[in-house]
Amino acid sequence: MAFALTPEGEREVDELLTRYPERRASLLPVLWLCQRQNGWISSEVVDYVSQRLDLSTATVRGVVTFYTMFFEEPVGENVVWVCRTLSCDLRGGKAIQDHLENKLGCTAGHTSSDGKFTLLKAECLAACGQAPMVQINDRYYENLDVEILDRIIEAHVTRGAEAAADEFSTHATFGAPSKAPISTAPPPPSPEAVRLASQPPPAPEPVGDES
C-alpha cells in the first residue's frame, strides 16, 4: 500500500521546506517524520519521499542506508539501544547488555518474541559521565544498575513508554550525583622513571580541521 503522511505531517513538510534554500536539505527531517508515523522506512516510504522532494529513489535509499537511526526493517514496539563504548563499559555496560538479553530473551540485534522490544547495541551516546546508560526510543536512562533497569523495562510493559519516560528518563546533569561519598583525594600513584622521548613527537594533525 502506498504511504502518505497525515495532513498534519504534510503541513510540517511544507514548513520544513521554508527552512532551507534547497528542497533537498529537508530530506533528513522528512525521513524522520515518516519514520515517526510508519515505524520504519519501507520502500513505500522511500517512494513517497522521493516523489515529495523530487529526488530519485536511489538518492533517498542511499541516504537512508547511511544513517543508523533509520530502520530498514520493522522494529519492536520499543527500541532499546545499549551503549557499549568505552566509558559505559568501564562502568558495567556489558552487565547491562547481558541482563537485557536475559530479560528480553533475545540477543542484541533482535526483537523479543512478543514484539515489545528490539535490542540494539549503540556507540557512545554522549552520556558517558552518567554511565552505564541505555536509550529507549528517544529517551535516555542513565546511572543504571540491574534493579533500576528492571523497573524501567517493567514500566514500559505495564504503563507504556511515555509514563516510563516521565518517571525514569534523564536529561543532562552537571556534576552527576556521586554514589560514593567524596573524600579527600588518595595519593596519586608515584611516578616511576619512565621517560618520554627526549624530543616530543611531532604534533599530530588536529582532529577536525581549521577552515
Ligand X SMILES: Cc1cc2nc3c(=O)[nH]c(=O)nc-3n(C[C@H](O)[C@H](O)[C@H](O)COP(=O)(O)O)c2cc1C
Residues of this chain, 123-182, that bind ligand FES according to CB under 6 A: 124-128, 131, 133
Footprint on residues 168-207 left by ligand X (CB under 6 A): 207
What is the phi-psi region of residue 210: left when phi exceeds 0, alpha when psi lies from -120 to 50, beta otherwise?
beta
In sequence order, the 6+-apart residues with CB closer than 8 A to the CB of 127 are 83, 133, 140, 142, 172
Footprint on residues 129-168 left by ligand X (CB under 6 A): none
Q: Which of 99, 95, 59, 77 is closest to 162 using CA atoms?
A: 77
Which member of 16, 49, 60, 83 binds ligand FES (CB under 6 A)?
A: 83
Which CB atom, from 41 or from 127, has the smaller least distance to ligand X? 127
Compute how many residues bind ligand FES; rule: CB under 6 A. 12
Contact partner at residue 105 from ligand FES, other proteins, ligand X, none, CB < 5 to 8 Å by partner kind: none
Which CB atom, from 197 or from 207, has the smaller least distance to ligand X? 207
Is there binding between residue 101 and other proteins (CB under 8 A)? Answer: no
In sequence order, the 6+-apart residues with CB closer than 8 A to the CB of 80 are 100, 104, 117, 118, 119, 120, 134, 135, 136
In whole angstroms, the minimum distance from the beta carbon of 205 to ligand X comes to 10
Which CB atom, from 72 or from 138, has the smaller least distance to ligand FES? 138
Q: Can you give the binding site for ligand FES, defined by CB under 6 A?
A: 83, 85-88, 124-128, 131, 133
